[in-house]
Amino acid sequence: MTDLSPQLLLYIVTAGGLFGIGLYGFIVGPQTLRRILALNIIGAGIFMLMVVLAYRGLADDASLPSTDPVLHALILTGLVVAVSATAFALALLARLNQAKAAQCSQDQLRHKQGPGQ
Amino acid sequence: MSPFWQQYLPLAIILSSLLPGLIIFTLKETQVKLRISLNLFGVGVKLLLVLLMWQAVKAGQQFYFSLPFLPGADLVLQGEALSLLFVVLSSVLWLATTIYAIGYLEQSPLRSRFFGYFSLCVSATVGLALAGNLVTFLLFYELLTLATFPLVVHRGTPESLAAGRRYLAYTLSGGVILMLGVALLHSLVQSPLFTPGGYVAAAISGNEGLLMLAFALMITGLGVKAALLPLHGWLPQAMVAPAPVSALLHAVAVVKAGAFGIIRLVYDVFGVESMQALQLAQPLMLLAAVTILYGSWRALAQQDIKRRLAYSTISQVSYITLGVAMLGPLAAVGGLVHLVHQGVMKITLFFCAGNFAETLGIHKIRELNGAGRRMPVTAMAFTLGALGMIGIPPTAGFISKWYLGLGVAEVGQNWLILVFALSGLLNAAYFLPVVYRMWFLPQTVPWPAEQRLSNRFETHWMLLLPATFTAILLLLMGLFASTELSPLSWAQLIVEREFRHD
Amino acid sequence: MMVVLLVLPLLSALFMLLWPRIAPLLALLTASVCSLVALQLLLLVSQQGSQQVLLAGWPSGLAISLEANSLSSLLILLTALLQLLVGLYAFATHRRDKLGAGFWPLSGMLQLGLTALWLSRDLFNLYVCLELLGIVAVALVSLSGDKAIKPALNYLLLSLFGSLCYLLGVAILYGAYGVLDITVLASQWQADLLSSTALLLMTLGLMLKAALWPLHGWLPAAHAAAPAPVSALLSALVVKGPLFILCLLWLQLAGATQVAAVAPWFAGCGLAALLLGGVSALRTPFAKNMVAYSTVAQLGYAMLALGLLLRFNQPLFAAALWLFVLAHALAKATCFLAVGEITATLGGKRISTLKGASQTMPLAMFAFAVAGGSLIGLPPSGGFLAKWALLQGLWLQGGQLFWLLVIVLATLLSAAYVFRAVVLAFNRADPVAPDFAPRILPQWLALLPALAVWAMALYSEPLLQLLKQEGL
């Protein structure tokens, strides 16, 4: 593995930090929405790491024309997957809430009808 | 007979009960005639095929059928003298039990299921008898467990379900332990065909410990079904099954499967020499002797007829194990012939117990007073069976005990004579009072639940006929023991082939 | 041929969205065509060795490469056949069970994801397959309506988390070596701290997705909540995907020291799964949960076999591992279909619903018992073959009495939970009355894989040869 310049190291540490924050949120968070967001933060951390890794090797040899294109392609794929997964999770969450609300209103209805009869 | 036929004969013997069984499952409850004729057809075909094979094996032929299975262990069916002993026993007794079961279950529900599993059970037993190597044996051993379980719980009552659970717990554990042992032996010497004289001798040096472990594991696994001492707990409880099932379980299928497995293990896997080299016979002998005495002792205390018979089975089956473990030719003859004799005697006793229960509602021994006058034929059959169990001439039981006694003298384990004598006394002590009550005590209370099942006979003819048949059979086997057709001469043939190699 | 196997399910899934009315027909057609193609692929591979395809003519390294060895073609065949069977079952019962129209395209996508997974040998492609599989699986679970949303959401979140862990591992490995192809990566592999971290992260994610103990918590709820055909697919196939990748990683990539360090852990997890999963299956009052816990327990066998394979490098364990996977897939499909059919007909979720089922629904109960026999490992079933291979390996290794004892215990536990249901079914005292007349066709469909798993025993020799030489 090539040596990393301090600047790259900083980015990597930041990416790691994002991952850590997300992990914490995912494990601790009681609310589902918070956990979905936490997953996105973890994802952001990983993608940032990948972006940074695409620049490795550039520090000592600046003449290289471009960064590692494979990683960029991977990030794009990853982003697509992450976005669709998030959308799916949010949709499920919305349906869960709807189901809950329906359940609640039914219960209330029954509650109201109960004493009346 | 063409060679093509010969190859498939062992398979055909199994299929002759398996296929009717599978068809019976699909029948409706009301198709009584079709079911009965299918059953009897299967029995008839099987007996015919067995007869064919018997003729050929007597002439020195061997039958061999194999299918690829595990690497190094094909699925082999082999027809030779020892397997035929068990095949003949189970086919003949299957005939008797089938007729009995048809009469016994005449009005009860779910008969299709019952007869289906009944046929499966016999197929598994016959397969076990014909199994040509340990892996095949293991396969049929497990199938037998699965096929008998529905029969044990057939009544579907809480007690029978509890008994079924217990039965499964014992037999499945035994099966797993047997599998462990077979796998160990397979890893050491593969699983070749059963050969007289065994096949482990070549691997003995350096592997003594592992071979002894394998033997112990396999005896434990087989001992569950053979009801050796600490593993017998399921047997008395399994009595809740309908009478034909108990009869089959005790006389042929399950218990005998264990005993037959022990015979195979000792003679055809390990062989006499290896058994002696590894000093495995002594512990087995001791275990069998203790089981004989323990079973008889417990039988003495039982008040329920079927339970007394169950403990008696525990004791009697260990005679076979003991005869095998003595490793002498005469004792081996005794053990092998007892396999047949005990089967016929015990099935007679169970048929009679079922007749008493079905006709008069008698379950306890004290209710039997005067039963001999009401049901003379059944009582006569019971008496013959009981005398055979004690070993009184001229019944079949005498022959096997005589040879076992000779075997003791031959191998010089004189303490075993004491075991036999004591057990004989105990046998007499628990059977003779029953016989005495039937014939000589007057009936004091009315029968618990009398049914008139027939106008001409004392009970339904289908219940009476099998009991009479097996009772006469056991008398004939005793009287004509020296003829060529008797199990004794067949057992001598086997032992001759078994011990000839050395 | 491989491309056909991938494109066909994808196209048919798209067409199903366009014409929902012919969706079942399309799904069944696709599954049967795929089965035939998969069979042909298997024959080709067994004759000519592994086949490789680089998509769209790109050079190796850039292109998406697909590689079919005998193991993966076998798994593809299994996938296609189970899809066909489950599709038939779903078609036979879809009116009664009110299975959503979404089932058909989703099952097509599931087949695509699985097939792609068995064929990929590239860490990132595997990630995409995993993610596809996870999302489709969750969508399938959520088909059974409101009560399934919560377990589905939980499954989705954990599955996403698992994939992200895996992705992080992939990123680290790519950063270190600059390649993603497993064989190339294996040739440059260094067993250092960085690669260990990456491997651990990936393992964690995969274990979470494969529901390997102790990360199995989501599985019983999700599998029990799903409709019967879906549970059958999930238990039989989906959990095996991540397991496959796990085996790829540890058998092909990891260095000797790493393997030695992790092998006892895998075996230990397998042991815990076998025992604790078995106990949970024995104690749960719900029928489908019992089958689901049994999946957790049975995956323990695969884990145990993997651990032992890594430790002793004995080809018999590789055979045992994949035999377990195959036998479990078939047996579990039957279990879920049969239990689903019984609970639907008799109306109830508890195990006590099975009371008297041997009378009311003999065929389904028979199917369950036969599949249960394979789960226990009774001869001559596929489960027995696997156990036999495991026992042979252990005895040949010598001195492994502890593991033998574990296997005995696990076998007895599985016998206990299978027969707990079977004994109930034989209870004739007060059988549960069916809500409507039991239907014959679905019961026969449930029986088919059980018969197949017992027939496996007859083909054991070629199967063992094939799996042993492959061993990944």
Q: What is the CATH number of the domain that holds A106?
A: 1.10.287
Classify residue B397: in a domain, yes or no.
yes
Buried b (16+ CB within 10 A) or exposed e, C193-225: eebbebbebbbbbbbbbbbbbebbebbbbbbbb
**Chain B contact residues (CB < 8 Å to C):** 25, 67-71, 75, 110, 113, 135, 138-139, 142-143, 146, 150, 153, 155-158, 161, 164-165, 168, 172-173, 175-177, 179-180, 183-184, 186-188
Distance CA B100, CA B91 (A): 14
Buried b (16+ CB within 10 A) or exposed e, B405-430: bebbeebebeebeebbeebbebbbeb
**Domain count along chain A:** 1
- Test C139 with A96 for CB contact under 8 angstroms: no
Classify residue B434: in a domain, yes or no.
yes
Mean pLDDT score, B447-467 = 82
- Kindly list the residues from chain C whose CB atom is less than 8 angstroms away from the CB atom of residue A50: 171, 174-175
- Kindly list the residues from chain B whose CB atom is less than 8 angstroms away from the CB atom of residue C419: 165, 168, 172
Q: What is the pLDDT of residue B1?
A: 47
Answer whether B touches A (≥3 Cβ pairs < 8 Å).
Answer: no
Classify residue A14: in a domain, yes or no.
yes
Distance CA B37, CA C108 (A): 51
Q: What is the pLDDT of residue C331?
A: 93
Classify residue B61: in a domain, yes or no.
no
**pLDDT band at residue B106, thresholds of 50, 70 and 90?**
confident
Which ranges of C123-227 does DSSP label H, i.e. alpha helix? 123-141, 146-177, 182-188, 193-210, 218-225
Return mean pLDDT, chain A.
Answer: 81
Classify residue A1: in a domain, yes or no.
no
**pLDDT band at residue A69, thresholds of 50, 70 and 90?**
confident
B86: nearest Cα among B263, B220, B348, B285: B263
- Test C156 with A26 for CB contact under 8 angstroms: no
Q: What is the pLDDT of residue B483?
A: 84
- Test B156 with C412 for CB contact under 8 angstroms: no
- Test C168 with A46 for CB contact under 8 angstroms: yes
Q: What is the pLDDT of residue B253?
A: 83
- Kindly list the residues from chain C whose CB atom is less than 8 angstroms away from the CB atom of residue B25: 362
Q: What is the pLDDT of residue A59?
A: 46
The packing angle between helices B376-390 and B396-411, to 10°, is 0
Q: What is the pLDDT of residue C469?
A: 62
Classify residue B362: in a domain, yes or no.
yes
Question: 3-state DSSP call for residue C54?
Answer: strand
- Kindly list the residues from chain C whose CB atom is less than 8 angstroms away from the CB atom of residue A42: 161, 164
- Contacting residues for A98 by C-beta, under 8 A, at least 6 apart: none
Pair type for strands B73-79 and B63-70: antiparallel
Distance CA C356, CA C361 (A): 8
**Residues B345-362 pLDDT 10s:** 999 999 999 988 888 888
Q: How far is C203 from chain A (nearest CA, A)?
A: 17
- Test C156 with A85 for CB contact under 8 angstroms: yes
**pLDDT band at residue B246, thresholds of 50, 70 and 90?**
confident
Chains in contact with C, where contact means 3 or more Cβ–Cβ distances below 8 Å, are A, B
Q: Model ipTM? A: 0.86
Residue A117: pLDDT over 50: no
**Chain C contact residues (CB < 8 Å to A):** 62, 124, 127-128, 131, 134-135, 138-139, 142, 146, 149-150, 152-153, 156-157, 160-161, 164, 167-168, 171-172, 174-178, 180, 194
**Domain of residue A103, residue span:** 6-113
Which ranges of B190-253 does DSSP label H, i.e. alpha helix? 208-226, 234-237, 243-251
Contact between C321 and C210 under an 8 Å Cβ cutoff? The reply is: no
Q: What is the pLDDT of residue A45?
A: 92
Q: Is B100 left (phi over 0), alpha (psi -120 to 50) or beta?
A: alpha
- What SS3 string covers B73-109? EEEEEEECHHHHHHHHHHHHHHHHHHHHHHHHCCCCC
Chains in contact with A, where contact means 3 or more Cβ–Cβ distances below 8 Å, are C
pTM of the complete model:
0.88
DSSP of B421-442? HHHHHHHHHHHHHHHHHHHHSP
- Kindly list the residues from chain B whose CB atom is less than 8 angstroms away from the CB atom of residue C457: 69
Pair type for strands C51-54 and B63-70: unpaired
Residue C81 C-beta-side C-alpha neighbours within 13 Å:
19
**Domain of residue B492, residue span:** 280-502
Q: What is the pLDDT of residue C470?
A: 56
Question: 3-state DSSP call for residue C67?
Answer: strand
Q: Which amino acid is at B411?
A: V
Classify residue B389: in a domain, yes or no.
yes
**Residues A8-44 pLDDT 10s:** 788 889 989 999 999 999 888 788 889 999 999 999 9
- Contacting residues for C338 by C-beta, under 8 A, at least 6 apart: C364, C365, C367, C368, C371, C443, C446, C447
Q: Which residues pair with B79 in a beta bridge?
A: B63
- Test A39 with C150 for CB contact under 8 angstroms: no
Distance CA A73, CA B44 (A): 76
- For an interface test with C, the pick among B14, B155, B187, B218 (most C C-beta atoms closer than 10 Å) comes out as B187
CA B461-B463-B464 angle, to 5 degrees, is 65
- Test C164 with A74 for CB contact under 8 angstroms: no
C331: nearest Cα among C138, C82, C103: C82
Q: What is the pLDDT of residue C61?
A: 66
Q: How far is C205 from chain B (nearest CA, A)?
A: 35
Q: What are the contacts of B40-45 at 24+ separation with CB within 8 A? A: B40/B98, B42/B16, B42/B17, B42/B119, B43/B17, B43/B91, B43/B94, B43/B95, B43/B98, B45/B16
Phi, psi of B77, rounded to the nearest 5 degrees:
-115, 130
Residue A64: pLDDT over 60: no
Q: What is the pLDDT of residue C208?
A: 92
- Contacting residues for B472 by C-beta, under 8 A, at least 6 apart: none
Mean pLDDT score, B317-331 = 90
Q: By mean pLDDT, which of B73-77, B129-133, B248-252, C394-398 is the weakest?
A: B248-252
- Test C391 with B179 for CB contact under 8 angstroms: yes
- For an interface test with B, the pick among C312, C411, C424, C440 (most B C-beta atoms closer than 10 Å) comes out as C411
Classify residue B272: in a domain, yes or no.
no
**Residues C182-233 pLDDT 10s:** 888 888 888 888 889 999 999 999 999 998 888 888 899 888 888 889 999 9
Classify residue B285: in a domain, yes or no.
yes
Classify residue A98: in a domain, yes or no.
yes
Contact between C305 and C233 under an 8 Å Cβ cutoff? The reply is: no
Residues of chain C with pLDDT under 70: 61, 468-472
- Which residues between 36 and 95 in chain A have a beta carbon less than 8 angstroms from any beta carbon of chain C? 36, 39, 42-43, 46, 49-50, 53, 56, 68, 70-71, 74, 77-78, 81, 84-85, 88-89, 92-93, 95
Which carries the bigger pLDDT value, residue A115 or residue B478?
A: B478
Return mean pLDDT, chain B.
Answer: 87
Return mean pLDDT, chain C.
Answer: 88
- For an interface test with C, the pick among A18, A33, A46 (most C C-beta atoms closer than 10 Å) comes out as A46
Q: What is the pLDDT of residue B501?
A: 59
**Domain count along chain B:** 1
Mean pLDDT score, B202-216 = 87
Residue A65: pLDDT over 60: no
Residue C361 C-beta-side C-alpha neighbours within 13 Å:
37
**Residues B370-402 pLDDT 10s:** 888 888 899 999 999 999 999 888 888 898 899
Answer whether B touches C (≥3 Cβ pairs < 8 Å).
Answer: yes
Tokens coding C49: 């060795």
Sign of torsion, CA C416 C418 C420 C423?
Answer: negative
Q: What is the pLDDT of residue B456?
A: 77
Q: Chain centroid to CA B281: how far?
A: 22
Q: What is the pLDDT of residue B230?
A: 87
Q: What is the pLDDT of residue C468?
A: 63
- For an interface test with C, the pick among B22, B120, B141, B142 (most C C-beta atoms closer than 10 Å) comes out as B142
